[in-house]
Amino acid sequence: MNQDKEKDQKVGGDGLTKKQRRALKVSAKTAGTSPNEILNNIHITNTKDIKKDVVFKSNENVKCPTQNKPQVVTVEKHFKSEPSEDKPSIDRTKNVDIKGELSKAEVRAQRRAIQEAQRLAKQQKTQEKIDKADEKKPQIVSKDKEKPKVEKKPKLKVAQKIIKPKETKVQLFSHLSVATKEKGSVVVEEVHPAFVRLGAQYASKTILGSNARCLALLSALKSLIESFESPPEQEFCRSLEVALQNCVNYLQIYRPIAVSMTNVLRYFKLVLAELKTNLQDIEKKNSLIKWIDDYMHDEIGKAGEAISMKVEGKISNGDTILTYGCSSLVLRILLEAHNKNKKQFRVIVVDANPLFEGKEMLRRLVNAGIECTYVLINAISFVMNKATKVLLGVHALLANGYVMSRIGTAQIALIAKTYSKPVLVCCETYKFCERVQTDSIVFNEIGDPNELIRPSEKKQADNVNAKLTHLNLMYDVTPPDLVTAVATELAILPCTSVPVILRIDLEKSKK
């Protein structure tokens, strides 16, 4: 019995049970109409467009043992309604069946109707947006069509390829500045003429060497002080410091500042800060010029003389001294040892491309009557066994004992160490630096790469080696293990004594 009841209560595709279908057939026979017409009039509608009347019909002719209640049937009456511009809102009103609840098929149909209405509304909105965008498109398209007619981009690309110069920097040394003779137009309104001339001499390599560059800087500084006049209502020392900084920045355009020049400028600024403010400008000028003269005389002149006296004791008759490049201090030592002490010795001058500084050293030694031998650095291993001592000049002496000098010094010290020859480095204490460096990459100066090639062979070299980049380093770093001793004006010391000398100089500057 329960199974038969469940079969009778099952809802079909038309949303009616078997019992309801039987009742409809009976009522259709009595009314004289077909059951399909009655089924077509029963469906789910929107409450805005359709009014529903609930009609209770009693199935008198149908005997149903399980159902005594009257059947509820919804009959729809259509009324004309104006279409609304808003989204079609569908009222989810409940159609009442025999049990008083919507069937599953009716719920699905209602959901499909809602989704279809929402989809149509969404399509209308997107279509409106597309129509509005299409109205504006013809103006934008016309502008875009005009641009390709000019064809400026291809011309610019071709011009860049022609104008773009060949890169002369090695990637490993890209952080270093490249020294070239032509620096372009530079504004020199606030730069003293003495510094303008000095920058041109630095660029053309007319002034070379730490001592020569430092002396030239001090001479230009004297000229600046003598002709300087402080602006009205400004302090002399501060305005002079600003003018000096502009001149130094101008020099750095042509070549980086040497270590010896950096130390001189630092001491000068300390002296400038310690000047008494109650003095007249003329008195301040006189005191600064006097300090510059004393520094040139004591720290460079007297220091070189003291070093010469100490190294002369290490030179004996019959020695063969090997030197590299043209160091002004080493040249002074050799000339004084020959002229004053009348010692007889030979000199081997080693030189290297591109500066060939050794030619000036050779010329002066030969004019003094000293027997000399001139070789290039690639032949150093063939002449090292003939030398008894090696004298080298330096650019700076670092705090960790490393020696910074012209490129090639480390190679000569290494070969001298291999042949067990003593290497004596001559350096004034004002060249001592607090910087620590163990290689030639972190801090260095790059010369003009074109100097490595002869002008007559430049075009041929570019054609043969198109992918070859020339590197012209100015300095290298020599480890303290390859240096026997350092000759200073204080004493002949090991390289590890640099921090002690720096501490002594700091105490002197405080006094």
Q: Which domain holds residue 21?
A: 2-81+88-116
Which tops the pLDDT comparison, 143 or 186?
186
Alpha-carbon torsion 153, 156, 161, 165, what sign? negative
Q: What is the Cα–Cα distance from 349 to 326, expressed in whole angstroms? A: 9
pLDDT of 361 reads: 95
Average pLDDT for residues 482-503, to the nearest whole number?
A: 92
pLDDT of 23 reads: 79
304 in Cβ contact with 428 (< 8 Å): yes
- Helix (H) / strand (E) element for 375: namely strand 371-376
Q: What is the Cα–Cα distance from 299 to 430, expressed in whole angstroms? A: 7
**Same domain (yes/no): 435, 504:** yes
Q: Which of 300, 330, 346 is the last residue of a domain?
A: 300
pLDDT of 471 reads: 85
pLDDT of 454 reads: 75
Average pLDDT in the chain: 79
Number of folded domains in the chain? 3
Q: Where are the alpha helices (DSSP H) in 228-377?
A: 236-254, 259-274, 281-295, 303-312, 328-339, 358-367
Burial class (CB in 10 A: 0-12, 13-18, 19+), 9: middle
| Cα–Cα nearest to 213, from 197, 222, 201, 225 | 201
Tell whether the model's pLDDT for residue 184 goes beyond 70. Answer: no
**Same domain (yes/no): 480, 345:** yes
Token pair in block for residue 340: 């004053």
3-state secondary structure of 27: helix
Helices and strands, counts by H and E, the chain:
17, 12
pLDDT of 373 reads: 96
**Same domain (yes/no): 475, 439:** yes
pLDDT of 131 reads: 79
Average pLDDT for residues 484-490, to the nearest whole number?
A: 94
Domain containing residue 231: CATH number? 1.20.120.420
The 3 state secondary structure assigned to 56-100 is EECCCCCCCCCCCCCEEEEEEEECCCCCCCCCCCCCCCCCCCCCC
Tell whether the model's pLDDT for residue 161 goes beyond 70. Answer: no
The amino acid sitting at 336 is E
Q: Which of 249, 265, 300 is the last residue of a domain?
A: 300
Tell whether the model's pLDDT for residue 57 goes beyond 80. Answer: no
| Cα–Cα nearest to 247, from 200, 292, 191 | 191
pLDDT in tens, 6-36: 555 666 666 677 777 777 777 777 766 665 6
Token pair in block for residue 248: 């130094």
Alpha-carbon torsion 444, 325, 207, 490, what sign? positive
Tell whether the model's pLDDT for residue 166 goes beyond 70. Answer: no
Q: What is the Cα–Cα distance from 263 to 130, expressed in whole angstroms? A: 74
Q: What is the Cα–Cα distance from 439 to 254, expressed in whole angstroms? A: 24
Which tops the pLDDT comparison, 10 or 268?
268
**Same domain (yes/no): 344, 381:** yes
Q: What is the Cα–Cα distance from 390 to 322, expressed in whole angstroms? A: 5
Which tops the pLDDT comparison, 459 or 330?
330
**Same domain (yes/no): 479, 338:** yes
Q: Which of 249, 274, 300 is the last residue of a domain?
A: 300
Question: How far apart, in Å, do the first and last CA atoms of the chain sit?
Answer: 123
The amino acid sitting at 145 is K
Give the least confident one: 25-39, 261-275, 441-455.
25-39
Give the least confident one: 73-87, 360-374, 456-470, 471-485.
73-87
Which tops the pLDDT comparison, 80 or 487?
487
Average pLDDT for residues 122-139, to the nearest whole number?
A: 75
List C-alpha distances in Å: 348 to 219, 334, 377, 390, 442.
34, 12, 11, 9, 32
pLDDT in tens, 296-349: 999 999 999 999 999 998 999 999 999 999 999 999 999 999 988 888 999 999
Q: Tell me the percentage of the chain whose pLDDT exceeds 70.
A: 70
Residue 139 domain-assigned (yes or no): no
Tell whether the model's pLDDT for residue 103 goes beyond 60. Answer: yes
pLDDT of 153 reads: 43
**Same domain (yes/no): 498, 399:** yes
The answer to whether the bond into 83 is cis (omega within 30° of 0) is no
